Chain A
Amino acid sequence: MGCNFSPSHSSYIMVMKDYKYIEELLENYFKAETTVQEEQILRAFFQNESVPAHLAGYKALFAVQKQMSKEHAPEKSFEACCKERARKINFRPFYRAAASVAIVLCIGMAASMSMGVGDNSKAPTAEAVENPDAEFGEMEQVLTPQSSAVAEKKDTLFLY
Chain B
Amino acid sequence: MFRLAHRITLSQEEAEDVVQDTMERLWRERDNFSLINSIEAWTLRLVRNLSIDRLKRSGRNTVALDAERDAAPVAGTDQQVEMEEKMRIVREAMDRLPEIQRSIMQLRDIEGKTYTEIAEILQISESQVKVYLHRGREKVKKSLIGV
Binding site for B on A (CB under 8 A): 29-33, 36, 39, 57-61, 63-65, 67-69, 71-73
Can you list 22 A-B contacts with CB-CB less than 8 angstroms, sorted by A residue number?
A30-B134, A30-B137, A32-B129, A32-B137, A33-B130, A36-B112, A36-B114, A58-B144, A59-B83, A60-B90, A60-B144, A61-B141, A63-B83, A63-B87, A64-B90, A64-B91, A64-B94, A67-B87, A69-B110, A69-B111, A72-B2, A72-B6
Is B138 touching A30 in the complex (CB atoms < 8 A)?
yes
Among residues of B, the one whose C-beta sits closest to the C-beta of A31 is B134
A91 and B129 alpha carbons, distance in the complex (Å): 48
> Given A32-B133, A32-B134, A72-B2, A39 and B83 touching (CB < 8 A)?
no
Q: Number of B residues whose C-beta is below 8 Å from A? A: 29
Q: What 1/0 flags go to B89-100 for Cβ under 8 Å of A?
A: 111001000000
Q: Which of B88-147 contact A (CB under 8 A)?
A: 89-91, 94, 106, 108-112, 114, 129-131, 133-134, 137-138, 140-141, 144-145, 147
Task: Tell me which residues across on chain B come within 8 A of A64, comparing CB atoms.
Answer: 87, 90-91, 94
A33 and B109 alpha carbons, distance in the complex (Å): 13
Among residues of A, the one whose C-beta sits closest to the C-beta of B112 is A36
Instruction: Kindly provide the distance from the CB of B144 to the nearest chain A CB, expressed in whole angstroms.
Output: 5
Among residues of A, the one whose C-beta sits closest to the C-beta of B117 is A36
Is B2 touching A61 in the complex (CB atoms < 8 A)?
no
Question: Which 3 A-B residue pairings sit nearest by Cβ, starting from the closest?
Answer: A60-B86, A32-B133, A32-B134
Instruction: Kindly provide the distance from the CB of B21 to the nearest chain A CB, expressed in whole angstroms.
Output: 17
Is B91 touching A30 in the complex (CB atoms < 8 A)?
no
